[in-house]
């Protein structure tokens, strides 16, 4: 949930306009759990980013970001994956638009398991296999692959912020691993 890039112009928002919208409207997001699969399609690893948050703290995160005006959900998924994983990640975005769940991040903690102090964000969540080389970009410091078992380790889950540990567990449950 670190989509900060905004620009003025056709369909784009200035920082001030975006801040105003964030106080008035739910903002549409996508969340991605990047995975490695074996040749049967079974998930063997999930990728978590290491990021520097706005507060300067280092934390783990899923690939996540805003859907822009006049942008397809599918294009938003690819844009955020390229932003965080680099241009050679070769993501295989699922062919159907049905997300495995919808995560509702509320500015007020406790309404749902998901929390975003900046805004009310509603996020379509997808599992996306990546087949290429991942190279963290921009504010992502590192991408670490965890086996499904390692990803469930309470120490790993505790490093995820804003309830994304819940989303990761939901993804693992959906995957049946």
- Contacts to a copy of itself by CB under 8 A: 11-13, 17, 20-21, 23-28, 35, 37, 40-43, 67-75, 78, 92-104, 106-108, 111-113, 120, 122, 124, 127, 129, 169-170, 172-176
Contact call for residues 128 and 81 (beta carbons, < 8 A): yes
Contact call for residues 47 and 36 (beta carbons, < 8 A): yes
Q: Identify which of residues 51 and 160 has a Cβ nearer to a copy of itself in the complex.
A: 160
CB 57 to a copy of itself: min, Å: 26
Contact call for residues 145 and 151 (beta carbons, < 8 A): no
Q: Identify which of residues 97 and 117 has a Cβ nearer to a copy of itself in the complex.
A: 97
Q: How far apart are CA 113 and CA 144, in angstroms?
A: 24
CB 7 to a copy of itself: min, Å: 11
Q: Identify which of residues 58 and 102 has a Cβ nearer to a copy of itself in the complex.
A: 102
CB half-sphere exposure, 87, CA atoms < 13 A: 0
CA 8 to chain CA centroid, Å, is 24
């Amino acid at each position: 949930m670190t989509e900060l890039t905004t620009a003025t112009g056709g369909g784009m928002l200035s920082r001030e306009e975006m801040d105003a919208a964030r106080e008035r409207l739910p903002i549409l997001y996508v969340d991605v759990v990047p995975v490695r699969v074996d040749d049967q399609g079974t998930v063997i690893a999930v990728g978590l980013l290491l990021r520097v948050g706005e507060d300067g703290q280092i934390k783990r995160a899923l690939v996540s970001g805003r859907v822009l005006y006049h942008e397809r959900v599918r294009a938003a998924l690819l844009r955020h994956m390229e932003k965080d994983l680099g241009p050679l990640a070769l993501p295989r975005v699922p062919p159907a638009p049905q997300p495995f769940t919808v995560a509702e991040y509320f500015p007020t903690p406790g309404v749902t398991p998901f929390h975003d102090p900046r805004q009310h964000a509603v996020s379509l969540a997808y599992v996306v296999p990546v087949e290429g080389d991942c190279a963290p970009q921009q504010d992502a410091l590192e991408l670490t692959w965890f086996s499904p078992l390692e990803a469930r380790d309470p120490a790993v889950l505790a490093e995820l912020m804003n309830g994304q540990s819940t989303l990761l567990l939901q993804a693992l449950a959906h995957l049946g691993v």
